């Protein structure tokens, strides 16, 4: 791998890792720290840089960047605070029986089955085929998320896994591009193996529900944060889908 191609690939995977990490951050339970950061600086500059490194056309992000700037203004000017975002987070994801947008892959997919007139599989949190399949992917990758008391198919867990996988891919590309002639083939082999493993996870999990999850979030969300997060996720899922095509 040439140094130029290696740099581009490192930048690509690093950008996608950061993009997943940003979505993961926005979709965790709202906190004072989140509000302080949203009020201190707009994320539009970071997103513009990530999109450029990931090869995402600026035109597809124009509206999202404006929404990120408006989110910053709303928080910094006091028009949107922690209580507002917590209420919306609860309405969207935490209703005990009918959340607007299911945050668990198994529940989300099952809801679509029922909406299509099919019988519910009545999945249980933590123990259901989709969650257990995700666990197997995590084990093969040596992935653990300390402190998460969440099912393996929760939106935040899957997003964090994707972020870490892209980060590891970036590291392996860097190793391959800087290794000597004897070590470079082994680095490339490790990269190819991890890339195939992550591609399988994307097909079986991320692309199985998150494009529709983020689309629904962009439609159901109220206020300045969650419609913007939904739109940002839609652009990322389009990019991942195109890359895998």
What residues make up the domain containing 109? 3-244
In this prediction, residue 176 carries a pLDDT of 80
CATH number of 176's domain: 1.10.3480.10
Average pLDDT over residues 40-58: 92
In this prediction, residue 241 carries a pLDDT of 83
Interatomic CA distance for residues 242 and 48, integer angstroms? 19
Of residues 226, 196, 225, the one with CA closest to residue 99: 226
**For the residues of 119-131, what is the DSSP string, one character each?**
PP--PPSSSSHHH
- In this prediction, residue 148 has a pLDDT band, given cuts at 50, 70 and 90, of low
- In this prediction, residue 147 has a pLDDT band, given cuts at 50, 70 and 90, of low
In this prediction, residue 113 carries a pLDDT of 94
Place of tokens 């990269």: 191
pLDDT reading at 4 higher than 50: no
Q: Pick the more confident residue, 220 or 5.
A: 220
Average pLDDT over residues 49-67: 92
The CB density around residue 49, as the number of other CB atoms within 10 Å, is: 13
Q: What's the half-sphere exposure (Cβ side, CA atoms, 13 Å) at 147?
A: 3
pTM of the shown model: 0.93
**CA-CA-CA-CA torsion sign (91, 100, 210, 47):** negative
Per the structure block, which two tokens stand in for 185? 């083939």
Judge residue 235's burial from the number of C-beta atoms within 10 Å of its C-beta, 0-12 exposed, 13-18 middle, 19 or more buried.
buried
Backbone torsions φ then ψ of 154, nearest 5 degrees: -70, 145
Q: Is 42 helix (H, G, I), strand (E, B) or coil?
A: coil
Average pLDDT over residues 100-129: 94
Number of domains forming the structure of the chain: 1
Interatomic CA distance for residues 97 and 106, integer angstroms? 15
Interatomic CA distance for residues 29 and 196, integer angstroms? 32
Q: What is the mean pLDDT of the chain?
A: 91
Of residues 216, 206, 211, the one with CA closest to residue 234: 211
Rg (CA), the chain: 19
Interatomic CA distance for residues 17 and 38, integer angstroms? 20
In this prediction, residue 177 carries a pLDDT of 78
Q: What is the pLDDT of residues 205-243, one digit of tens each?
A: 999 999 999 999 999 999 999 999 999 999 999 999 876
In this prediction, residue 98 carries a pLDDT of 82
Chain center to CA of 39: 22
């Amino acid at each position: 791998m040439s140094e130029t191609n290696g740099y581009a690939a490192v930048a690509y995977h690093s950008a996608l890792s950061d993009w997943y990490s940003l979505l993961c951050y926005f979709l965790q339970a709202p906190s004072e720290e989140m509000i302080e950061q949203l009020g201190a600086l707009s994320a539009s500059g970071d997103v513009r840089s990530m999109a450029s490194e990931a090869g995402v056309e600026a035109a597809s992000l124009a509206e999202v960047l404006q929404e990120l700037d408006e989110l910053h203004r709303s928080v910094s000017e006091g028009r949107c605070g922690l209580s507002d975002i917590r209420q919306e987070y609860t309405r969207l994801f935490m209703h005990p029986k009918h959340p607007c947008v299911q945050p668990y892959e198994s529940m989300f997919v099952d809801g679509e089955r029922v909406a299509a007139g099919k019988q519910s599989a009545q999945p249980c949190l933590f123990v259901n085929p989709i969650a257990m399949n995700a666990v197997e992917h995590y084990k093969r990758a040596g992935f653990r998320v300390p402190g998460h008391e969440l099912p393996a198919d929760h939106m935040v867990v899957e997003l964090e896994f994707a972020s870490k996988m892209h980060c590891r891919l970036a590291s392996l590309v860097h190793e391959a591009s800087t290794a000597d002639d004897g070590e470079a083939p082994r680095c490339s082999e490790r990269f190819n193996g991890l890339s195939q493993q992550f591609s399988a996870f994307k097909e079986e999990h991320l692309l199985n529900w998150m494009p529709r999850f983020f689309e629904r979030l962009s439609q159901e969300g109220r206020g300045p944060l969650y419609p913007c997060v939904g739109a940002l996720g839609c652009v990322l899922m389009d990019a991942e889908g195109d890359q895998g095509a």
